[in-house]
Amino acid sequence: MAYQIVTNPKIMSYIKKSRYYRVNLGLANTVNDPKGGDRVFNDRDKFQYFYNNQYKTTIYGQGNVSDMMFYVDHYIKDDVMAVYLNNDEFIFELDEKLIKEKGPDYYLGHILKELDAQHEERAKKVEEKKAEPVKEANPDKVMVNPGAVTYEDLQAYLKKKREERYSVESFPKQE
């Protein structure tokens, strides 16, 4: 599994002290547009492209530890790390005390354990939501009680109207 971690320069300075950290500056953020010659955002690094479109800011590749790629966003002012797993975002607060006591390698392992627990919790919530019984839509509710109409009721009402409009009985008989 590939992890992308976006943080500020302060936290990045702690991570760079890991003995497993390797500098990897990634791809250039912009390239020349072959059509017009202007500079356009480079879409070859899928995560950088996703992040730029999502937050309208540029991140800079710094390096990696195994399959964790680290990026710096200079507009992050809080001491947080945003960890992305399949474009799902998980936010972690910096624990300077833990880094100073145990080191950056232990801290990264701790973050991965927390990430795994939160990811499983989200997956369980999604499964529970899928298992919830679906309410029956009532198309007549639009006319009877319009203040209590749900989106499903409105969809059922529109479907019923379409069926009535295009039913065989609605067309005139030809003799």
- What average pLDDT does range 2-20 have in this prediction? 95
Same domain assignment for residues 92 and 152: no
Q: Residue 16: which CATH number? A: 3.30.1930
- The answer to the question of residue 175 being in a domain is no
Other Cβ atoms within 10 Å of 37 Cβ, number? 7
Q: What is the pLDDT of residue 169?
A: 62
Average pLDDT, the chain: 89
Spatial distance between the Cα atoms of 139 and 149, rounded to a whole number of angstroms: 9
Spatial distance between the Cα atoms of 113 and 73, rounded to a whole number of angstroms: 24
pTM of the predicted model, to two decimals?
0.72
For 112-121, the CB contacts below 8 A with 24+ separation are: 112/3, 115/3, 115/83, 115/85, 115/90, 118/90, 119/85, 119/88, 119/90
pLDDT digits (tens, 9 = 90+) for 33-62: 888 878 888 888 899 999 999 999 999 999
Domain count, the chain: 2
Range of the domain at 155: 141-166
pLDDT digits (tens, 9 = 90+) for 78-109: 999 999 998 899 999 999 999 999 999 999 99
Same domain assignment for residues 146 and 99: no
- The answer to the question of residue 44 being in a domain is yes
Instruction: Select the more confidently predicted residue: 42 or 6.
Output: 6
Same domain assignment for residues 111 and 149: no
- The answer to the question of residue 148 being in a domain is yes
- Bridge partner residues of 32 (DSSP): 39
Structure tokens, 46: 């899928």
Same domain assignment for residues 36 and 110: yes
Grade residue 25 by pLDDT with cuts at 50, 70 and 90. confident
Q: What are phi and psi of 81, to 5 degrees?
A: -120, 130
